[in-house]
Amino acid sequence: MSIVEQLPKRLKLARSAAKLTQVELARAMGLSRDTIARLETGVQRITVEQLEGYAQHCQIPLTNIITIAGQSTTPRFSYYMPEDMREKLSDDLKSRFEKWYYSYLSLARTMFTIASLRLPQISPEFESELDAKEKAEELSGRLRSYWGLGEMAFDNPVQLLESQGLFVTGRDLGFGTTSFIAGELLGNDAYGIMVNTNPEIAIEQQRYALFEALSFIVCCEKKDRLVTEPNWTSRAMKLMEVFTETFAGSFLVPSQPLKKLISRFRHQQAITVGLIELLKDYFQVSAVTIIQRLRAIGQINRKTFDAHIHHFANDSNGLEGKLAPLAFTQEKALLKIAKEQQLEYKFQDWEDRFQPTDTKHDTIIKAKKRPVNSPEMKKFIKKRHYFWWSVPEDKKENLKPEAVVEALLNYGDIKDIKELFDLMGIGPVAAIFMRQIAGPRPNYKPQTINFFRQYFKRHA
């Protein structure tokens, strides 16, 4: 069967995966429900513009619509993890991850447009340990540049990854199982990371796990390599382990700013305990991470490394120090909004996925209007139409949430912004704002970025 013959089935699968009815999709695309029905039954041939409309409103890449058909309707998950960790991935752990992923994906789609994760491409093939380390340092620098971080330190790794479109959560997966689970439902371009927050696992190890998971996603993104080729040699897996550890360390503590601070504050030739304290406070990491990074960039030898490890191990704060636990604020905000709107998510079966249900009447809610398309939001936009003076009047009601948030935070007064929070929720607004300022050229004034970054950190 040719692609043209299979296309109607693929269109229907894409719409079903997005949990949209024919009426909802027709309204979003400016078509009639009958037109959608004819397209999905093959009675009417689809145009390029209509195909792009399906891709946009079903939140699925155009190429994925072309490659959906012929596949089973049972969703297929791709897991991005080292081979030894996947061996520990029991059916129970997979089930927990997939249930959480579906609920998060479904809930997020009702609240805001999911950002497309921007990732550089890299081959996970290394010639030596030195090659693996050099590529890890290079990749972390490129990714920081992609996300507009540069050499800046950050105190909330979860919020950083969430702002780039990743789904992140923490669960007690048991001690001695796996430090993280990372994967995606193929065709959604939405990656999930579940960090093991078992009390026996140190906070710094949990932070490392986030970026180790990210490194696997980058290496295997679009390739599904670790799923289709699980039998790597022990040498290849060892080099991959070196790569992920170096990537995580260099993302948390980049080499260039680390070297600059050392040259500025080091007295004579020795790396002192005081300097390590200063560095760990600046980068907001533990002493052991700073010591490991100093060793990795050749600033201390093995003997000095062992001496500093011994010193901080005997310190009252220990090697880990007093790091704050990981905070999964976006997930909490989404759940709070769902509770306020009396929505709950029930895992039924593969076809039902996680659909929101009305707790009063216990019936499936089919309408999933995003806040920006609601009558209240349209009225809100119309009342403040002058914020979007360059947009034609007949198109202002269909503004994207990102455009609404950007205009209101830049030019709105306190009353405008308070009403925006009431309509969209402070969590989704904060998530959109953090994604926007993480880009290379955010359309916000520096003072606006500074104010709302602090505001959302405290209140969102």
The answer on 110 and 218 residing in a single domain is: yes
**Domain range for 60:** 3-66
Residue 455 lies in a domain: yes
Joined together, the tokens standing for residue 284 give 């907001």
Alpha-carbon span 401 to 110, nearest angstrom:
12
The CATH number linked to 17 is 1.10.260.40
Sign, CA dihedral 97-100-101-102, equals positive
Give the domain-ending residue among 273, 289, 313: 313
In-domain check, residue 328: no
Query: Same domain for 154 and 185?
Result: yes
Q: Is 233 inside any structural domain? A: yes
| Alpha-carbon torsion angle 286, 291, 295, 296, nearest 10 | 10
Contacts of residue 123, Cβ cutoff 8 Å, sequence gap at least 6: 219
Residues 170 and 105 reside in one and the same domain: yes
User: What's the pLDDT score for residue 294?
Assistant: 92
Considering the domain architecture, whether residues 21 and 88 belong to the same structural domain is answered as: no
Assigned token pair, 239: 């080099």
d(Cα 341, Cα 348) in Å, to the nearest integer? 21
Assigned token pair, 346: 């029930």
Residue 289 CA to residue 285 CA, distance in Å, equals: 7
pTM: 0.59
Query: Are the C-beta atoms of residues 197 and 111 closer than 8 Å to each other?
Result: no
What does each C-alpha distance from 144 to 57, 174, 254, 449 come to in angstroms?
30, 32, 9, 18
How many angstroms separate the CA atoms of 383 and 404, rounded?
13
Q: What is the pLDDT along the chain (460 residues), one digit of tens a residue?
A: 455 567 788 888 888 878 888 888 888 888 888 888 888 888 787 877 788 788 888 877 665 665 544 444 445 678 888 777 877 788 889 888 988 888 777 776 665 555 556 666 666 678 888 988 998 998 888 888 878 788 888 878 888 888 787 889 999 998 888 899 998 876 666 789 999 999 888 888 899 999 999 988 887 654 443 333 444 566 777 888 888 899 999 999 999 999 988 888 776 667 888 888 888 888 888 888 999 999 988 888 999 999 988 888 776 565 556 677 888 877 777 677 666 655 444 333 322 333 333 333 332 223 333 445 678 888 888 888 888 887 888 788 778 888 899 888 988 888 888 888 888 888 888 888 887 887 667 788 877 887 888 788 777 6
The pair of structure tokens assigned to 330 is 């976006």
356 found inside a domain: no
The C-alpha torsion from 77 through 337 and 381 to 24, rounded to 10°, is 50
Using CA atoms, how far apart are residues 134 and 246, in angstroms rounded to an integer? 9
- Whether residue 178 contacts residue 151, with contact meaning beta carbons closer than 8 Å, is answered with no
pLDDT for position 229: 40
Residue 301 lies in a domain: yes
Report if residue 338 sits inside a domain: no
Residues 305 and 392 in one domain: no
Task: Supply the pLDDT for residue 193.
Answer: 93
| List of residues 6+ apart from 247 with CB closer than 8 A | 136, 137, 139, 140, 211, 212, 214, 215
How is residue 364 annotated by DSSP?
Answer: B
- Say what the pLDDT of residue 342 is: 53
Same domain membership, residue 61 and residue 21: yes
Question: Residue 189: enclosing H or E segment and its boundaries?
Answer: none
Domain count within the chain: 4
> Domain with 112 in it: what CATH number?
1.10.10.2910
- Chain Cα centroid distance, residue 426: 18
Single residue among 313, 336, 356 that ends a domain in this structure? 313
* 394 and 290, same domain (yes or no): no
The one-character DSSP state at 43 is S
Indicate whether 109 and 181 sit together in one domain: yes
Statement to judge: residues 118 and 234 lie in one domain: yes
238 and 272 co-located in one domain: no
Q: Establish if 321 belongs to a structural domain.
A: no
Q: Is residue 253 within 8 Å of 99, Cβ to Cβ?
A: no
Q: Where is the domain boundary, 284, 313, 342? A: 313
Same domain, 105 and 180: yes
- The pLDDT assigned to 344 comes to 44
Give the span between the Cα atoms of 216 and 69, in whole angstroms: 28
Phi/psi-derived region of residue 268, left when phi > 0, alpha when psi is between -120 and 50, beta in every other case? left
What confidence score (pLDDT) does residue 249 get? 92
| Whether the Cβ atoms of residue 438 and residue 143 lie closer than 8 Å to each other | no
Pairwise CA distance, residues 184 & 224, whole Å: 10
Q: Reduce the DSSP state of residue 202 to 3 states and report it.
A: coil
Q: Do 259 and 403 share a structural domain?
A: no
**449 alpha-carbon distance from chain centroid:** 21
426 close to 134: Cβ distance less than 8 angstroms = no
- Give φ, ψ of 364 to 5 degrees: -65, 130
